[in-house]
Copies of this chain bind each other. A is one copy, B any other.
Amino acid sequence: MKQSKLFTKTRKEAPSDETSKNAQLLIRAGYIHKEMAGVYDLLPLGSKVVENIKEIVRQEMNAIGGQEFIMSSLQSKDVWTATKRWDDDVVDVWFKSTLNAGGEVGFGWSHEEPITEMMKSHLSSYKDLPAYVYQFQNKFRNELRAKAGMMRGREFIMKDMYSFSLDAEHHEDFYQKTIQAYQRCYDRLGIGNDTFITFAGGGAFTEFSHEFQTICDTGEDEIYINREKGIAINDEVYNDDTLKKLGVTAGELEKVTTAEVGNIFNFGTQKCADMNLLVTSEEGKQIPVYLGSYGIGITRVMGVIVENLADDKGIVWPEEIAPFTIHLLTFGNNENIFREAESLYHDLENAGIEVLFDDRDLGPGQKLNDADLMGMPYRIVVSEKSAEKGGVEITKRATGDVEFVDPARLIAYFTEG
């Protein structure tokens, strides 16, 4: 895309009421726009990043048998009354409204109950199991405080998956498969090394749930980790009992601040029993189904990536997430140089490589600052100076490493690894 056509502009300052680093950088670079605290629009660049994150997660969920669909945001009171979770004293993040036709409606802060209810129309026999379904859907949560930018939104995008299994063995098997799929997701998202699967509070159904926690200074959680043993324990279940169960001592653990980027939750058969999702077993009995739920906060991950990978010049995107692989810059008024840059732009795009071509009539300083702020993995400069040094100048955003490459070899540079 030609940058002159991109309607968003970079800016030197973030809005004064925006205190989080991730939102400050994303607003300054033109990825998002703030509607109100905890509510952001995804501008073209931001929308591309979110789609790229979704695509990674989609591929991994499909690989373990997930089927994608979309639930509505509007939810009926009845569905939640059955499990007593309509009550604002039980769930304090509801946005509710009134139907003009009469009655109350809620806006989905979770979809566990509506999905379980919906599945009753499709699951009736052991032959219908297992079923794994997932969606990318806006969640609405009426948070009292929302000051962490994309990391705690009142409206945010979540991937939520649900597994419906016949027995404990199949249930456990898929639960473990999902853990592995999640680890592949975080690796591909560029935060794998900082992300720990963490024992957390299990609620009514199980002793522990599992969270995926990424070390991040602006996170809201504190966990105890042992990197060598690969053990991580959330503060909420950090006690002698837990340490003993996991075979680790307090002295072996390090306390770190983290952001929760995913969680998986084992409901056993309790939720389906409560909601009357039963199937006929092979022996002809009516039995409740095993339910697991598996979340990844898509927009929160975007915020965490910015927090963790950015430097003092701006955002640094991992290659698979960046809206464009290459930010192509050209300097000066030499028409031949501009034409060469434009021709490289077309060649790269034709080779299937996504390029943002800064064709604007601006000085090198401003173009370089914008490129650093916006964070594409590769910056290519086409200028008289670069030509003198043997071609075009390629700078890796993450490391600052510079190479000069013959324009004739540029496509090969990117396609041959």
Contact = CB atoms under 8 A, between A and B. Distances in A.
Contacts of A73: 73, 138, 140, 155
Interface stretch (A116-124, A271-279, A303-311, A391-399): A116-124
Contacts of A96: 97
A100 B88 CA distance: 11
Given A35-B75, A114-B35, A92 B100 contact: yes
A155 B144 CA distance: 26
Interface string A98-135: 01110001010000001000110111000010010100
Highest count of chain B CB atoms <10 Å: which of A40, A41, A146: A41
B122 A39 contact: no
A346 interface: no
A5 B123 CA distance: 12
Consensus secondary structure, chain A interface: mixed
A30 to B, nearest CB: 7
A246 interface: no
B72 A155 contact: yes
Interface centre among A97, A118, A119, A145 (most CB of B within 10 A): A97
A132 to B, nearest CB: 8
B5 A65 contact: yes
Nearest to A111: B41
Interface string A15-51: 0000000000000001001011101111110110010
Nearest to A27: B121
Contact of A44 (B41, B69, B99, B105): B69
Nearest to A1: B67
B39 A74 contact: yes
Contacts of A39: 72, 74
A209 interface: no
A154 interface: yes
A250 interface: no
A69 B133 CA distance: 26
A354 to B, nearest CB: 14
Contact of A144 (B40, B42, B100): B100
Given A7-B122, A35-B75, 4 more contacts: A41-B72, A73-B138, A73-B140, A74-B154
Interface of A: 5-9, 11, 30, 33, 35-37, 39-44, 46-47, 50, 65, 67-76, 92-93, 95-97, 99-101, 105, 107, 114, 118-119, 121-123, 128, 131, 133, 138, 140, 142-146, 154-155
5 contacts: A5-B67, A33-B118, A41-B70, A44-B67, A74-B140
